[in-house]
Structure 1
Amino acid sequence: MRNSSTGRVLRRVVTYGFVTLGALASIFPLYYMVVGSLQLHADSAFSGLIPRSGNIGLQNYRDVNKAISLLPSLGNSAIFTLGTVVLTIVIGLPAGYALARLRFPGKPAVAGMLILVLVLPFQVMMIPLYILVVRDYGLADNYIGMILPFAVNATAVLIFRQFFVSLPDELFDAAHIDGAGEVRTLLLVAAPLTKPAILTASVITFIGPWNEFLWPFLITKQHSMQPLAVSLGEYVSTNAATATNPYGVILAGACVLAVPVIALFLIAQRHFTSAALGSGVKE
């Protein structure tokens, strides 16, 4: 009995040890980025991982702000990202409802096309999108041109579809018995329950455009229209080498780019799990 108890304790210690090591390995790049962004003089030695009071400051953040004007770039990133998230929810929610609850010809084909869109990399569609958005619509150096290719997010549609599939049929049957049509059922019955799905889709959608470099780089030639990822990328390729601490400046810009995503995840993570819905159905 004692040996069995000792074995369980050892297995638990080993499991927790592996989990702890995995967590530390995952956090280490973030820690290195923050420490490196605060170093006044680059220190690539192992001892540089420990902050020293004489080599810590905000000069790298001042340098990157002076070079690329962080606030306007952050504003461009916010407009691009929030516009994409809003359109993704507005389009994805009814699309997911239709795929989950409506019957119409070609429904399996539509679902298959969504999977195909997820499989295809964005680079495959980039050239025709560029021709369509820039040449045909004339939306270069325009927020609409940045947002349009990301307005329909197949992942978000599938998230909403799966959420609506998981809802009890009794909720929709009761609405239909009361004479509600599909639009009214969506707005008054289904949509109020989708907070977890909306938050999940929003966070997943937010990460993509916020970190997106290639598409905004292609269609924005004016520096005043470039999101932070593009401004930071151009700075790294052209002017970073002239800074007193090039790596520190680059890491400072990376920290500024990462903070909104981390903050959003920390705020929204407790809402990811949907609340139990069975209590809303009367037997």
Structure 2
Amino acid sequence: MKTRGTRAPAVLRGVVLGIGALAFLFPFYYMVIGSLQREPDQSVAGAFPQPGNLTFENYVTIDARLDLVRSVINSGIFTGGVILCTVVFATLVGYALAVLQWRGRGAVFALAILVQVVPFQLLLIPLYVLIARSYGLADNYLGMILPFAISSTAVIIFRQYFLQLPQAIFEAARIDGASEIQLLTKIALPLVRPALVTVVLVTFIGPWNEFLWPFLITKRADLQPLAVSLANYLTNVANSTANPFGAVLAGAVVLVVPIAVLFVVFQRHFINTDVSSGVKG
């Protein structure tokens, strides 16, 4: 009786979690199924279409209209540039705030927290004037990347992880003649790999899904990332296709798949974030 009593809550918890998982995954399933339907069916029955109604024609259609491969490459360049700049600058600033001793670092950290409460939309006009008119970087990858080159969230993440590292490690390395760059690259970063992976994944989501800023800064279709290309397709040419609903869903699937794959591959790094275990080892 005691065994059954202890198993019942576990079974109930498993059932509830299973139902929640199905409810969470159903929109993604419906998106994939909708992207494969030749004849659109937006009713509930459309979630379970006939096999003869499934095809890849929608992917071919949207690729022909907006050059899907080129749009994905543009998104990759935009996102990769943002990730590279964010990791480099955030590690340097986070290390300076956590390890180095200098006057005013508390004020700088407070400013990094304060920046997070400022909506990005409030900065769009001055950023556009600065980057497009003053720097002349409209219709340019660098113009897309610059506003996202450093993230206060990434700075805070790295700072908190660096604070967990024993200061004795850095003092011993300094006595041995190591420079601060060597301390950062050879000692600090290897011990905070979970933070590095977390920052990369969190940073990836923003520029990969970003629409408003690339839409403002780019007018050339061959430079626009996938999110902007999909919006232009939906506005301009979707009504001229036989199945605009399926074509838009096909583009959405292409937009979502890289994010889903990254989280599936690196999800264990979100679980194993105990830096102290790496320090003790």
Which TM-score tier does this pair reach, normalised by the shorter chain? over 0.9
What residue is the counterpart of 2:249 in the other structure? 251
TM-score by length of 1: 0.93
Task: Please state if 1:34 is matched with 2:29.
Answer: no
> Which one of 229, 235, 238 corresponds to residue 240 of structure 1?
238
After TM superposition, list the pairs within 5 Å mapping 1:190-229 onto structure 2. 190-229=188-227
Report SS of the residue matched to 1:40: coil
What residue is the counterpart of 1:188 in the other structure? 186
Alpha-carbon offset, residue 177 of structure 1: 2.6
Alpha-carbon offset, residue 270 of structure 1: 2.4
Pick closer, same or farther for the CA change 1:281–1:180 going to 2, 3 Å.
Answer: farther
Q: Retained in 2: the 8 A contact 1:68–1:231? A: yes
Alpha-carbon offset, residue 281 of structure 1: 4.9
TM-score by length of 2: 0.94
What residue is the counterpart of 2:130 in the other structure? 132
Alpha-carbon offset, residue 28 of structure 1: 1.0
Q: Retained in 1: the 8 A contact 2:192–2:275? A: no
Q: How many residues align?
A: 280
Q: Retained in 2: the 8 A contact 1:140–1:220? A: yes
Amino acid corresponding to residue 268 of structure 2 in structure 1 = R
> Which one of 44, 67, 70 corresponds to residue 68 of structure 2?
70
CA RMSD of aligned residues (A): 1.7
> Which one of 155, 169, 180 corresponds to residue 167 of structure 2?
169
Alpha-carbon offset, residue 6 of structure 1: 3.8
How far apart, CA to CA, are the structure 2 residues paired with 1:12 and 1:213?
43
> Which one of 9, 17, 20 corresponds to residue 19 of structure 1?
17
Instruction: Identify unmatched segments of 5+ residues in structure 2.
Output: none
> Which one of 8, 23, 48 corresponds to residue 6 of structure 2?
8
> Which one of 84, 103, 112 corresponds to residue 86 of structure 1?
84
The list of structure 1 runs, each at least 4 consecutive aligned residues, that deviate by more than 4 angstroms after superposition, is 275-282
How far apart, CA to CA, are the structure 2 residues paired with 1:35 and 1:261?
19
How far apart, CA to CA, are the structure 1 residues paired with 2:118 and 2:278?
41
Pick closer, same or farther for the CA change 1:223–1:276 going to 2, 3 Å.
Answer: closer
Larger CA deviation: 221-230 vs 14-23: 14-23
Alpha-carbon offset, residue 106 of structure 1: 1.5
Q: Retained in 2: the 8 A contact 1:139–1:145? A: yes
Alpha-carbon offset, residue 279 of structure 1: 6.2
Alpha-carbon offset, residue 275 of structure 1: 6.0
Alpha-carbon offset, residue 172 of structure 1: 1.5
Pick closer, same or farther for the CA change 1:259–1:156 going to 2, 3 Å.
Answer: same
Alpha-carbon offset, residue 5 of structure 1: 4.2
How far apart, CA to CA, are the structure 2 residues paired with 1:39 and 1:117?
45
What residue is the counterpart of 1:61 in the other structure? 59
After TM superposition, list the pairs within 5 Å mapping 1:116-127 onto structure 2. 116-127=114-125
Pick closer, same or farther for the CA change 1:109–1:280 going to 2, 3 Å.
Answer: closer
Amino acid corresponding to residue 46 of structure 1 in structure 2 = V
Larger CA deviation: 28-37 vs 114-123: 114-123
Amino acid corresponding to residue 179 of structure 1 in structure 2 = G
Pick closer, same or farther for the CA change 1:131–1:279 going to 2, 3 Å.
Answer: closer
